[in-house]
A = this chain, B = another copy of it.
């Protein structure tokens, strides 16, 4: 604690960042900001823009950048991107704001912030084109957590040869995220081909009965293979969970 306080005294750490470190969260205009996840787990604070006004999101981003050096926004629409850019540019000199339109993510970063780097390999696998948004969200958080990422796309099981031909690439991963919509069978098949943990990510593709990702979620929860699951379109959660496994492996490798 002494170190932290001295950093504050030296002007190296803002009071907000210091409070975040000490209490696990910072009391700001935008509310109580939960810095614990970033601080302890190395997961960047992720702000779900759905259900918030652009202004609310921008305030939270600013707080995150100021206390932890960065922020990740998911489900960002144009108005949110605009609001964040304006607020961040005005408040933090030389901050960067990067967006991925397909994944609907935004990363704001303070000038001196340096993302970590892990000695662990995560494969992000998709069944088809429509899985790109959810997979992109997962990729965004994995990048922030420092994992090496292999994208293996378009290997849906309707033509089983596509995934069989990727056997080597799949087996090279320390942990895998497998995204699929419709019937969501790809994670089951992949989990039967590798010996690393598989995190299944159902995607809201499809129509009629079981559409909106319901069939994919149900199939993954019922899978005959061993895998764990996140919610429909929860790319951030899948990415962060894979990142935690990668961190554990990285730590074990370094010891």
A residues neighboring B (CB under 8 Å):
23-25, 30-34, 36-37, 40-43, 48, 50-53, 56, 60, 102, 127-130, 153-162, 164-165, 174-175, 181-185, 188-189, 191-193, 195-197, 199, 202, 204-211, 213-234, 237-238, 240-241, 244-245, 247-250, 252-253, 255
Contact = CB atoms under 8 A, between A and B. Distances in A.
B128 A182 contact: no
A129 B30 contact: yes
Given A174-B248, A185-B185, A252-B252, A241 B227 contact: yes
Given A60-B129, A208-B233, 15 more contacts: A25-B159, A34-B159, A182-B224, A183-B185, A197-B244, A210-B217, A210-B221, A211-B231, A221-B229, A226-B240, A226-B241, A228-B230, A229-B230, A245-B245, A253-B255
Contacts of A158: 34, 37, 188, 191-192, 223-225
Contact of A219 (B42, B205, B215): B215
B160 A244 contact: no
A247 B248 CA distance: 11
B244 A36 contact: no
A184 B208 CA distance: 15
Given A192-B157, A229-B229, A222 B24 contact: no
A208 to B, nearest CB: 3
Contact of A222 (B34, B196, B206): B206
Contacts of A213: 208-209
Nearest to A236: B226
B199 A221 contact: no
B129 A56 contact: yes
A232 B207 contact: yes
A162 B192 CA distance: 11
